Amino acid sequence: MVGGRVSSNGSYTGAHNNELGLLRAQLTNLRALLVLSILMTESADDEQILRLAVSASSTLGAWRIAGFTVGDTWRTDASDTGSVPPQLNEQLRALPETGGQVTTLDGGWAWAYPLRSIAGPIGHMVACAAGEPTREEQFLAQVVAQQTGVAVSNARLHARERAIAAELAQTNAALQETVATRGLRASLRRCMT
């Protein structure tokens, strides 16, 4: 065994135990991402999706979500919205599609991850930490951003579909009423003649 040795009871020690611990932690994080993905996909509310992302981020490493840009809105918390700070907005506009480092936030490290939909970018998730997170933690932040973008896009699509269905139902009801009224008038004319 490289990096570890077998103890008297036949179990591995040293580096092997560390490696197993890291693998268990990665598996735990992947399970958490799967649960997050399921919860986000089932949600029809943008704000709930953003709250889920914020709450999950605290369990996935030393980073946290500083906020989201969705369109021209800056959300530091699902219920706290406002305009995107001008300095941050300039930096976000200058970033490539893959996102990148931003420097306008308090803290030692900040990164803007794109929120994407099938139709294209819808905003950014800005993550920050006291120091640069590990490569694995940065990957987890990227996955959270991707899932958040897809879930928000999906929720908006379903909201549009529901609005269109409601509008069609109203139009159909009005049409049925018009047809019924005209049919009644035609019947009355026939009876009167």
Is 181 within a domain? yes
Q: How far is CA 31 from the centre of its chain?
A: 17
Range with the poorest average pLDDT among 10-24, 26-40, 127-141: 10-24
Q: Is residue 7 part of a domain?
A: no
Q: What is the mean pLDDT of residues 83-109?
A: 88
Per DSSP, the three-state class of 82 is: strand
The amino acid occupying position 64 is: R
Q: Do the domain assignments include residue 3?
A: no
For residue 163, count CB atoms less than 10 angstroms from its CB and return exposed for 0-12, middle for 13-18, buried for 19 or more.
exposed
Q: Lowest-pLDDT range, 8-17, 24-33, 135-144? A: 8-17
- Domain assignment present for residue 20? The answer is yes
CATH of the domain at 106: 3.30.450.40
The answer to whether 53 and 167 have CB atoms below 8 angstroms apart is no
- Average pLDDT over the chain reads 83
Inside any domain, residue 5: no
Identify whether 1 is part of a domain.
no
Q: Does any domain span residue 63?
A: yes
What confidence tier does 77 reach under pLDDT thresholds 50, 70, 90?
Answer: low
Model pLDDT, residue 138: 94
Map residue 56 onto helix, strand or coil.
Answer: helix
What would the mean pLDDT of 148-175 be, rounded to a whole number? 82
> What is the model's pLDDT at position 13?
64
Residue 168, in any domain of the structure: yes
pTM of this prediction exceeds 0.85: no
Cβ burial, residue 40 (10 Å; 0-12/13-18/19+): buried
Q: How confident is the model at residue 5 (pLDDT cuts 50, 70, 90)?
A: low
pLDDT at residue 118, rounded to an integer: 83
Lowest mean pLDDT among 2-11, 104-113, 172-181: 2-11
Task: With cut-offs at 50, 70 and 90, classify the pLDDT of residue 1.
Answer: very low
Number of domains observed in the structure of the chain: 1
Q: What are the Cα distances from residue 8, in Å, to 11, 118, 155, 170? A: 8, 56, 57, 77
Q: 109 or 22: whose pLDDT is higher?
A: 109
Domain membership of residue 95 as a residue range: 15-187
Q: In this structure, what token pair is assigned to residue 136?
A: 């694995």
Q: Is 51 helix (H, G, I), strand (E, B) or coil?
A: helix
- Does 7 score more than 60 pLDDT? no
